[in-house]
Amino acid sequence: MIDTPAPSRSWRLPALIAGLSMLAGSALTVAVLLLGGWRHVPVQRFDMTVVLKKEATAQQRDALGAALRAAFPGEALRVRTKEEIFEAFRTWMVGETGELPASETADAMQEQLIISTSGRSLDCDALKGISDDTAVDRLDITRTDTGTGRESGYSC
């Protein structure tokens, strides 16, 4: 009888095939995720409304406006006066209830400074001195996703 050699049972070839398959699968997965926008952080719009206290002076309002312009250069600052806010409130109130209470006047409203900026994130450090100012009642921030239009509150 002729002895035939036993078949080689080397582990190297199956290990090499398994290793290459894992690398190819990982590379394909990463490529699909990157091409699909997985790492893409959408640009969002941030609308910041600084509501002033009723007793805030024009000098304080102007100083806060200058601070907002410095924090967000190139962005337009809008000042909503007590009269503008009262007119919007009056229109809304008459539409809802049909009348406006006599106790509501323009002097009861609070002025607002509004500025908007767009980006992937908001630098909250730029708003620190503004929100701590004695003339500020509150700082409201609304984040709007530019892709979907969904709005949400944002806090710093």
Smallest Cα–Cα separation from 112: which of 86, 91, 81? 81
The answer to whether position 3 is within a domain reads no
Are both 101 and 88 inside the same structural domain?
yes
Give CA–CA dist 41/37, Å, rounded. 8
The answer to whether position 6 is within a domain reads no
Instruction: Give the per-residue pLDDT at 1.
Output: 59
Are both 88 and 135 inside the same structural domain?
yes
The answer to whether position 120 is within a domain reads yes
Instruction: Give the per-residue pLDDT at 15.
Output: 84
The answer to whether position 69 is within a domain reads yes
Q: Is the alpha carbon torsion for 34, 38, 39, 42 positive or negative?
A: positive
Averaged confidence pLDDT in the chain: 86
Are both 54 and 35 inside the same structural domain?
no
Are both 98 and 129 inside the same structural domain?
yes
Are both 72 and 102 inside the same structural domain?
yes
Helices (H), the chain: 12-35, 58-71, 82-97, 128-131
Are both 35 and 49 inside the same structural domain?
no
| CATH at residue 104 | 3.30.70.3040
Are both 51 and 73 inside the same structural domain?
yes
Are both 32 and 56 inside the same structural domain?
no
Are both 49 and 28 inside the same structural domain?
no
Domain that holds residue 20: 11-40
The answer to whether position 5 is within a domain reads no
Predicted model pTM: 0.68
Are both 66 and 112 inside the same structural domain?
yes
Domain count, the chain: 2
What single-letter amino acid sits at 35?
Answer: L
| pLDDT digits (tens), the chain, 156 positions | 577 766 667 888 888 888 899 998 898 888 887 777 666 777 889 999 999 999 889 999 999 999 999 888 888 899 999 999 999 998 888 888 878 777 788 888 899 999 999 888 888 888 888 888 889 999 999 999 887 888 888 887
Smallest Cα–Cα separation from 49: which of 86, 91, 85, 1? 85
